[in-house]
Amino acid sequence: LPISVEAVMAVNLMSLSRRLFQSPRLSAGPQLRPVLRCMQQGVRHAMTAKAEQPYYSNPNFPRDPDNQVLHLGLKEGDVARRILTVGDPARAQRIALLLDAGRPVSVKQSKRGDFTTYTGTYKNVDVSIVSIGMGKAMMDFLVREARAISVPPILIVRYGTCGSIDTSIPPGTVVISDECVSVDSNVAAFADAGDQTAKNRY
C-alpha cells in the first residue's frame, strides 16, 4: 500500500509527543500538558484520515489523489511548455490580460494557495503565466514540478524586479540577463567574526 508522507510525519510526531508527555522534566510545567495532548489528538486524527485514503504513492515526488503535483497543484496538460513566471499574483493577473482575446484561459490555484497558473495563448502560441512568490525554494518547486508534468523541452522565463550594482542603469530599465551568480550571505551573516572559512565559503 502507498505510504503517506503525512503518516510518516504523524508517527514521528506521535512518538515525540509521547516522550515529551511522559518526560519527568515536564513535572514543573503542567501548562505544557494540554498542548501536547492536543498535538497527540491532532496526530491521531490525521493518521485516521490518511488511513482511509492513502495520499501519496511516491514520497520523493508526491502527488495528490487527483494526480496533481504537490506544490503547483497541476497535472499533465495543465501547463504550457512556455512558462512566464512572476512573484506577485497581481502581476500574473495583469499579464494574463495580454493573452489572446476570445480564447479560453485556464486559471488554477494550488490548494496551498502559493501558486496561481494562467494558461492560454499569446499570438496563437500556448503559454502559461505562473505566480510563485519569492525565493529559491519556490523556483525549485516550479522547475521540478513543471518538468514532471510537461513534454520536454520547456522554456521558463522569470520576470520580476531587482536592484543593480551598476549606477549607469536607471530605475525602470528593462534588463535581460544571460548569466547569473548565486550570492547567499544569510549563513555568513551569522558566522563568528573570526570564522573566515564560513565567510569565504559564502
List the chain pLDDT tens, one digit each, 202 residues: 444 444 444 445 555 555 555 555 544 455 555 555 655 565 555 555 444 444 556 767 888 888 899 899 999 999 999 999 999 999 999 999 999 999 999 999 998 888 999 999 999 999 999 999 988 889 999 999 999 999 889 999 999 888 888 889 998 899 888 887 777 666 666 666 555 555 555 4
Q: What are phi and psi of 103, to 5 degrees?
A: -105, 145
* Cβ burial 60-95 (10 Å sphere, 16+ → b, else e): eebbeeeebbbbbbbbeebbbbebbbbbebeebeeb
Cell 503518516 found at: 7
Q: DSSP character for 122?
A: E
Return d(Cα 158, Cα 133) in angstroms, integer: 11
Return d(Cα 156, Cα 26) in angstroms, integer: 52
Burial degree of 192 (CB within 10 A; 0-12, 13-18, 19+): exposed
Q: Can you give the pTM of this predicted structure?
A: 0.64
